[in-house]
């Protein structure tokens, strides 16, 4: 075939494809974010870009395999659409309480009839909805060997009570009533839903009423930067209180040392006495 003849053929094919794409039903939906157990409105707009009018236009949603239910009908009828005309329908969707937070695809189908030929057509596709997770974090202070004047440990427990993961968590501590022996910053990483983790710091307790004061920074499920200041009281004891409560045991080192010295003295006295008696017997025998 003559190469000069290919150019107009390709041009005609390209024009046909362009016209076919231009002559179509355009469907758009607003992107919304909802939470488990809640509901939201999705507006779907249909634009008639065919070169003919259409009628009996219906939009239906397929919610069979996803954790959504339609409040009312999952199918809506639109007005008849002339060429280059558009109309929209709004669906109220409720999210299941146990829906996993993530992005979901909602399948839809638009059915219509050609006003001139009564030929039935349809357009299928998907639109996206995000099920997000509300951040719900709890904190508690924990300690080890919490005795004034002693080296111990203070820890911030972070509990993720929300449905979504919290990420890139770091903790910076601001000492109040104790001297910090380790770094003032700890990186934790991620904490999954219904899980917890600790940020621990080595300290020397200097007060009976210290405060675990810390800044916690993280990203929520939607990757938004979050920061929280935490101030939690920490219960610390004197050595006498710790002994009376059985938190520590009385040191017996002095007793052991004293007992050892007494035993050595007694042994030394006995040995000297025996030697003296032995010498006296030897003198009496002579």
Predicted pLDDT of residue 244: 78
Predicted pLDDT of residue 62: 96
- For the structural domain made of 137-244, what CATH number should be given? 2.60.40.10
Q: For residue 247, name the pLDDT band (cuts at 50, 70, 90).
A: low
C-beta separation of 232 from 212 below 8 A: yes
**243 or 109, greater pLDDT:** 109
pLDDT higher than threshold 90 for residue 13: no
Q: Which pTM does this prediction carry?
A: 0.67
Task: Say if strands 54-61 and 75-77 run parallel, antiparallel, or are unpaired.
Answer: antiparallel
Q: For residue 14, with 0-12 CB atoms within 10 Å meaning exposed, 13-18 middle and 19 or more buried, which class applies?
A: exposed
Closest residue by Cα to residue 54 from 74, 78, 73, 76: 78
Predicted pLDDT of residue 241: 78
The string of pLDDT tens digits covering residues 165-205 is 999 999 999 999 999 999 999 999 999 999 999 999 999 99
Query: What backbone torsions phi and psi does residue 83 show, to the nearest 5 degrees?
Result: -55, 130
Predicted pLDDT of residue 19: 41
Category of 58 on φ-ψ map: left (φ > 0), alpha (ψ -120 to 50) or beta: beta
Task: Say if strands 39-48 and 86-95 run parallel, antiparallel, or are unpaired.
Answer: antiparallel
Domain edges within the chain = 22-131, 137-244
Answer yes or no: same fold for 22-131 and 137-244: yes
Task: Tell me the CA distances in angstroms from 73 to 76, 131, 192, one per residue in order.
Answer: 7, 21, 36
Predicted pLDDT of residue 272: 72
The average confidence (pLDDT) of the chain is 86
CATH topology for 22-131 is Immunoglobulin-like (2.60.40)
Closest residue by Cα to residue 201 from 239, 172, 228, 229: 172
Predicted pLDDT of residue 273: 72
Work out the average pLDDT over 243-270.
65
The string of pLDDT tens digits covering residues 72-90 is 999 999 999 999 999 999 9
Predicted pLDDT of residue 60: 97
Category of 42 on φ-ψ map: left (φ > 0), alpha (ψ -120 to 50) or beta: beta
Closest residue by Cα to residue 59 from 104, 95, 112: 112
Predicted pLDDT of residue 6: 47
Closest residue by Cα to residue 134 from 221, 223, 68, 37: 221
Predicted pLDDT of residue 283: 63
Task: Tell me the CA distances in angstroms from 187 to 117, 221, 225, one per residue in order.
Answer: 68, 18, 15
Work out the average pLDDT over 16-45.
81
């Amino acid at each position: 075939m003559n190469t000069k003849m290919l150019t107009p053929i390709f041009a005609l094919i390209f024009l046909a494809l362009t016209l076919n794409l231009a002559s179509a039903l355009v469907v758009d939906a607003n992107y919304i974010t909802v939470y488990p157990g809640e509901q939201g409105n999705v507006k779907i707009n249909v634009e008639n870009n065919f070169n003919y009018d259409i009628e009996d236009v219906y939009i239906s949603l397929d919610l069979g395999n996803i954790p959504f239910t339609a409040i009312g009908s999952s199918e809506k009828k639109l007005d008849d659409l002339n060429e280059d005309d558009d109309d929209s329908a709004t669906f109220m969707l409720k999210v299941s309480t146990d829906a996993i937070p993530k992005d979901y695809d909602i399948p839809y189908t638009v059915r219509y009839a050609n006003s001139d030929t009564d030929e039935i057509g349809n357009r299928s596709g998907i639109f996206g909805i995000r099920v997000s997770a509300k951040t719900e974090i709890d904190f508690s202070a924990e300690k080890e060997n919490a005795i004034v004047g002693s080296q111990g440990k203070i820890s911030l427990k972070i509990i993720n009570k929300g449905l979504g993961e919290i990420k890139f968590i770091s903790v910076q501590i601001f000492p109040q009533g104790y001297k910090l022996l380790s770094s003032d910053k700890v990186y934790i990483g991620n904490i999954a839903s219904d899980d917890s983790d600790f940020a621990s710091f080595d300290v020397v307790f200097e007060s009976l009423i210290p405060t675990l004061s810390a800044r916690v920074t993280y990203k929520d499920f939607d990757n938004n930067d979050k920061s929280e200041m935490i101030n939690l009281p920490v219960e610390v004891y004197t050595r006498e209180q710790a002994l009376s409560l059985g938190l520590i045991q009385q040191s017996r080192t002095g007793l052991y040392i004293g007992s050892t010295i007494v035993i050595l003295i007694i042994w030394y006295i006995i040995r000297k006495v025996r030697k003296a008696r032995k010498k006296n017997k030897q003198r009496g025998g002579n």
